[in-house]
A and B are shown apart, each in its own frame.
Chain A
């Protein structure tokens, strides 16, 4: 596609429910990142996929968070048993190749846990 696409753009969920956030990276980009941005804060790294290598999961805040990337393209971030502190904008980015330059960001999914 022309850019990184994320869905849904907004999600309101009840505390304790599971949510899935989707990211469709730019075609051909081998690197894919998930970040979280709370109101007025910087970007918090969550997880990074690079080609067929094992993902870097070092930023996932708890075992309620998981992500997968199927076929080296689309990625899904899953949050189980959501908590109010999970409320944030979840941003996905992709870049062209290992050692490539800029990462391109999607518009994000605004998650609100009520």
Chain B
């Protein structure tokens, strides 16, 4: 099975940088995903890591260390619209596609 931990909530200032951490303990691993979910809306895909290292996509970057069971999502130049829940999800190994989600980190961006 999978056990995924992330902070429940975080607060940051507009224009700043915030790092949201995710740790996982899994029986198998075939990739880690970050999703963004605004209140009342469906989750939307942000990033995918399967190899160690940093993946950069505009203002968002995601890092993975498989040996440490650790990932983070880095958001730069924060905007008010970035206030949302950020969900870390791990995909099973063995060629399957099952995604297990953490409980999400509620980010509040303030002026």
- Which A residues are within 8 Å of any B CB, using their own CB? 31, 33, 35, 41-43, 45, 48, 50, 56, 91, 93, 95, 98-108
Nearest CB to that of B98 among chain A residues? A48
**Known contacts being A41-B103, A42-B101, A45-B101, is A105 close to B96, with CB within 8 Å?**
no
CB contact between B42 and one of A48, A56, A107 (< 8 Å): that residue: A107
Say how far B49's CB is from chain A's closest CB, in angstroms.
Answer: 11
Chain A residues lying within 8 Å of B31, measured Cβ to Cβ, are 101
Question: Do A42 and B103 have beta carbons less than 8 Å apart?
Answer: yes
Chain A residues lying within 8 Å of B102, measured Cβ to Cβ, are 42
A-side binding surface: helix, strand, loop or mixed?
Answer: strand
List B36-72 residues whose CB lies under 8 Å from chain A: 41-45, 48
- Which B residues are within 8 Å of any A CB, using their own CB? 30-31, 33, 41-45, 48, 87, 89, 95-104
Top 5 closest pairs, chain A to chain B, by CB: A42-B103, A102-B45, A105-B42, A43-B101, A31-B97
* Distance, CA A74 to CA B48, complexed state (A): 27
Question: Do A102 and B48 have beta carbons less than 8 Å apart?
Answer: yes
* Distance, CA A89 to CA B33, complexed state (A): 21
